[in-house]
Amino acid sequence: MTEPRPIPMIDLKAQLEVLRPEIDDAIERVLASTAFVFGPDIRELEREYADFCGTSEACGVANGTDALHLSLRAYGIGPGDEVITVANTFIATGEAILLVGATPVFVDIDADTFTLDPAQLECAITARTKLILPVHLYGHPADMEAIDEIARRYDLPVLEDAAQAHGAEWKGRRAGSLGHAACFSFYPGKNLGAYGDAGMVTSSDADFAARVRQIANHGAGTHRYDNVVLGTNSRLDTLQAAILRVKLRHLERWTEQRRTRAAAYTRALEGIPGVVLPREHADARSAWHLYTIRVPGRDALQAHLRERGIASAVHYPRPIHLQPSMAGARGKEGDLPVSELVSREVLCLPIYPELRDEDIERIASEVRSFVSEGASRR
């Protein structure tokens, strides 16, 4: 009997095969120009990505972590300040806050959407709060309307961590334009991924964007060697910008394909006892960066799938308030019951535009047989 085909978490080779001629042209153009730093593709990508998000500004930076870090610096956030965020996220969200010397204040999430629960937000606001930083986890936007209503009352800016949410929408408006500013990662596995590291900050506040640009370029003033604020080198490089411009042209189609795959998963997995499926809020258009189910005994299901050649991932096994590197935030077990429960149960199944219908059927039937084998053992 032939072994069934392995199903990876993501298939960048399949994507590259289709894009190859366009990517080769883009790379060749940059090589021919030798404009490796500050080449014209960067400004073009920034303009195109701002248009895509519906903002007036987009600033290319070296990666998504820097997008967060530089944004916090551009807000002037530092020691003594508090930033409200969630713990069910990639470590970079918390790192950026601690790196500027501020304190992350973690609030719990809504179990249906895995994003900041607006009902928990107001009681976390103190006189020291300077910013609200929701995360559009797995491509599902946080409830930006409810968050914005509270933020306005307290006159606080909202910075979106949209690292996983390129093309997601809330009430028809794109992630990137939902808060005062937003941070994106173009890590290769993201819905819009570079061939290396890259990131972007979007906003419609031109002064804020100018501050981000300045800090990302050694704090330079009008003259290159006139360094007026403490900055760093966090430039997006031209080759990555040229590659991202190619991929941006395909992003909307890929998002639709992800949405079709997510709907197929939901049809195929519905009704399996004990398996909680991800839900899309009525006002949201998820970009389905990940299709994340919840299941008690998650590790055993992951092993079951692995043995049958099916990859899966746990994003994230430990909420970040319990990470040793976040000790400065003084989080402890029991602080965030929903985030902690979810981290024990989440399993992300493969989802990408090239994933086939029969792959989804096979994955769903393995989840089903795992659950029924468990039931027959009880």
Ligand X SMILES: Cc1ncc(COP(=O)(O)O)c(C=O)c1O
- Which two three-digit tokens encode residue 278? 């991800």
For ligand X, the closer CB: 140 or 211: 140
- If residue 347 lies in a helix (H) or strand (E), which one and from where to where? strand 346-349
* Binding span for ligand X by CB under 6 A among 5-13, 160-168, 304-312, 326-334: 160-168
Smallest Cα–Cα separation from 188: which of 38, 8, 15, 5? 15
- For residue 346, give Cα distances in angstroms to 285, 319, 338, 341, 349: 21, 12, 12, 9, 10
The yes or no reply on residue 113 touching ligand X (CB under 6 A) is no
DSSP 78-126: -TT-EEEEESSS-THHHHHHHHTT-EEEEE-B-TTTSSB-GGGTGGG--
- How, if at all, do strands 57-61 and 82-86 pair? unpaired
The yes or no reply on residue 343 touching ligand X (CB under 6 A) is no
The yes or no reply on residue 75 touching ligand X (CB under 6 A) is no
- If residue 33 lies in a helix (H) or strand (E), which one and from where to where? helix 12-33
For ligand X, the closer CB: 55 or 85: 85
Largest CA distance in the chain: 73
For the CB of residue 26, give the shortest distance to ligand X in the complex, in Å: 20
* Binding span for ligand X by CB under 6 A among 39-47, 48-56, 161-169, 208-216: 161-169
The yes or no reply on residue 90 touching ligand X (CB under 6 A) is yes
Backbone torsion region of residue 272, taken as left when φ is above 0, otherwise alpha when ψ lies between -120 and 50, otherwise beta: beta
**Residue 62, C-beta contacts closer than 8 angstroms, at least 6 positions apart:** 197, 198, 199, 216, 233, 234, 235, 236
Which listed residue (106, 170, 187, 316) binds ligand X by CB under 6 A?
187
For residues 376 and 355, what is the distance between their CA atoms, to the nearest angstrom? Answer: 31
The yes or no reply on residue 185 touching ligand X (CB under 6 A) is yes
Which listed residue (53, 61, 86, 92) binds ligand X by CB under 6 A?
92
For the CB of residue 89, give the shortest distance to ligand X in the complex, in Å: 5
For ligand X, the closer CB: 272 or 314: 314
The yes or no reply on residue 93 touching ligand X (CB under 6 A) is yes
For ligand X, the closer CB: 64 or 319: 64
The yes or no reply on residue 135 touching ligand X (CB under 6 A) is yes
For the CB of residue 24, give the shortest distance to ligand X in the complex, in Å: 25
Query: What type of residue sits at position 281?
Result: H
For the CB of residue 260, give the shortest distance to ligand X in the complex, in Å: 23
For the CB of residue 234, give the shortest distance to ligand X in the complex, in Å: 11
The yes or no reply on residue 85 touching ligand X (CB under 6 A) is no
The yes or no reply on residue 49 touching ligand X (CB under 6 A) is no
Which listed residue (15, 52, 53, 65) binds ligand X by CB under 6 A?
65
Cβ count within 10 A of residue 256: 12
DSSP 276: B
Looking at the DSSP bridge assignments, the partners of residue 84 are: 105, 132
The yes or no reply on residue 63 touching ligand X (CB under 6 A) is yes
CA Rg, the chain, in Å? 21
The yes or no reply on residue 115 touching ligand X (CB under 6 A) is no
For the CB of residue 93, give the shortest distance to ligand X in the complex, in Å: 5
For residues 274 and 374, what is the distance between their CA atoms, to the nearest angstrom? Answer: 11
Residues touching ligand X, count (CB under 6 A): 15
For ligand X, the closer CB: 50 or 175: 175
* Binding span for ligand X by CB under 6 A among 86-94, 241-249, 322-330, 345-353: 86-94
Q: Cβ(359)–Cβ(261) under 8 Å?
A: no
* Binding span for ligand X by CB under 6 A among 80-88, 158-166, 223-231, 360-368: 158-166
Binding site for ligand X (CB under 6 A): 63-65, 89-90, 92-93, 135, 161, 163-164, 185, 187, 197, 199
